[in-house]
Amino acid sequence: MKRDSTSGPNRRRFLKGAASLAGGAVLGGSSAFTTLAAFAQDPPNCPTPPSGGTPFALGSDTRPIVLRKSIAFLSAAELTQLRSAYAALRALPASDKRTWIIQADMHALFCASCNNSPTDIHGSWSFFPWHRAYLYYYERILGSLAGDLAHFRLPYWDWENIRPLPPSYATPGDASNSLWDGNRRSALAGGGSLPVSDGTSARISTLYGLTDFDSFGGNSFSNGALEADPHGTIHVDVGQPPPLRHDMGSLGYAARDPLFFAHHCNIDKLWSGWNDLAGGGGLPPNAYRNPTNAGFLNLRWSFYDENQQVVSISAADVLDHQNNLRYIYKGPIFRIPPLLLILECELICCGPGPDPGPFLKVSEQVRETVIKELRANSPVVLVLQGMAIPPGLSGNFDVFALRGE
């Protein structure tokens, strides 16, 4: 297990607790790693945070339940509607609370990129529910501007299957296309594909082997594995390279790219698919279930709705997206979870030799357990706990599983 010691805010260090997949094992993230917010740039606008507002009432949204689709499967009419909605959003006057800039900077406001940020919704269990609520009201705004609030739903970019940028977001490559953004990595914007190791089906399959929400989605003080990878990796892959990182690669600017919402719809789809795995035979009672802790359920945030009114919504309100928020996804692809091993380890820093570490040390018993499972061709997810990380140490650890005799 070796640390990536490259200095500076490089691609790996940009990610909080970046989980690395190698040889069938995964190393979960740690809150001691560098956060995304640490490299966020101050956005040009920090809006006054909305507060209070009319609370979301269960049953108040009576629209039909509509499928959120992959961008690749939008009809010509649906794609035209999406572009028209974004064009209308961009054309709103600056005084309108729904305008593209104000809505985009709401993300900056809630990711500690602004001095008046009410909270940071990255790096904790707030990550999934806040973004779901954000997408919900953003979707309603676009639907209203498209004149089809009842049926308009945001599409998702299923990058695990479609590796280049969605053509509709890249062509035409100018301001005539309301889905285009000029601040993307040139290789990707020019028709290239995502790096072969990022956001893959294999990575998602492995994440679906994490049966507890703490590991998958985080807790009150640390992020889950999905937030770091693939969420963070795809953000960095799309944004410009350092030092700018605009737009997707910087928390302060990320939501200025329409692709942000397609990316986060896919993240939301993966959370929904993870929940769908609950209730399988031989699983613990709480497997694939969201937290029931009041501290999680009572999380609450304020937004602007399609009428420019301040509204508020809680984490508990967004958990049942089908009945409360009126959208669904197709079922998950990966339904066979790997064996989950929760293991203790020790961080050794730093030894002599050509590669001084630091290293993660596990007991002989842990080693034999992992080798036994790998020899039986059983996929294994390693959740390493009890690891004290010295202050000031950051980096990425690679786990190598040896399949020897």
> What average pLDDT does this structure show over 318-328?
97
Q: Is 144 exposed, middle or buried (0-12, 13-18, 19+ CB in 10 A)?
A: middle
What's the pLDDT tens digit per position in 239-285? 988 888 889 998 889 999 999 999 999 999 999 999 999 987 788 89
Q: What is the mean pLDDT of residues 329-335?
A: 59
Q: What is the DSSP string of 298-319?
A: T-EEEEE-TTS-EEEEEHHHHS
Is the pTM above the cut of 0.85? no
Between CA 248 and CA 383 the distance in angstroms is: 29
Backbone angles phi, psi at 237, to 5 degrees: -65, -35
Peptide bond into 247 cis (omega under 30): yes
Which amino acid belongs to residue 236?
Answer: V
For the cut 90, the answer to whether the pLDDT of residue 2 exceeds it is no
- Tell me the average pLDDT across 309-338: 84
What pLDDT score was predicted for residue 109? Answer: 85
Count the neighbouring beta carbons within 10 Å of the beta carbon of residue 391: 5
Whether residue 358 is preceded by a cis peptide bond, meaning omega within 30 degrees of 0, is yes
- Please report the pLDDT score of residue 46 as a whole number: 80
Its CATH class, for the domain covering 40-209+217-337, is mainly alpha
Confidence at 341, pLDDT banded by 50, 70, 90: low
pLDDT band at 300 (very low <50, low <70, confident <90, very high): very high
Position 365 scores a pLDDT of 65
pLDDT of residue 56: 98
What six digits make up the tokens of 18? Answer: 């970046």
Please report which helix (H) or strand (E) contains residue 215, including its range. Answer: helix 213-217
**Average of per-residue pLDDT across 1-28:** 31
Name which of 37-41, 55-59, 281-285, 292-296 the model is least confident about: 37-41
pLDDT reading at 1 higher than 60: no
Higher pLDDT, 401 or 287: 287
Is 115 buried (19+), middle (13-18) or exposed (0-12) by CB count in 10 A? exposed
Residue identified by tokens 């940071």 is 120
pLDDT digits (tens, 9 = 90+) for 138-158: 999 999 999 999 999 999 999
Greater pLDDT, 40 or 198: 198
> For a pLDDT cut of 70, what percent of the chain falls above it?
69
Domain spans of the chain? 40-209+217-337
Give the 3-state secondary structure of 124-191. CCCHHHHHHHHHHHHHHHHHHHCCCCCCCCCCECCCCCCCECCHHHHCCCCCCCCCCCCCCCHHHHCC
pLDDT in tens, 160-195: 999 999 999 999 999 999 999 999 999 999 999 999
Would you list the DSSP string of 368-401?
A: HHHHHHHHTT--EEEEEES----TT----EE---
Q: Which residues pair with 156 in a beta bridge?
A: 70
For residue 399, pLDDT beyond 60: no
Going by the DSSP 8-state scheme, the letter that residue 221 receives in this structure is S
Query: Is the pLDDT reported for residue 349 higher than 70?
Result: no
Confidence of residue 9 (pLDDT cuts 50, 70, 90): very low
| Token output for 154 | 């945001």
- Taking only the tens place, the pLDDT of each residue in 306-320 is 999 999 999 999 999
CB 299 within 8 A of CB 314: yes
Note the pLDDT tens digit of each residue in 61-98: 999 999 999 999 999 999 999 999 999 999 999 999 99
Count CB-CB contacts under 10 A for residue 376.
9
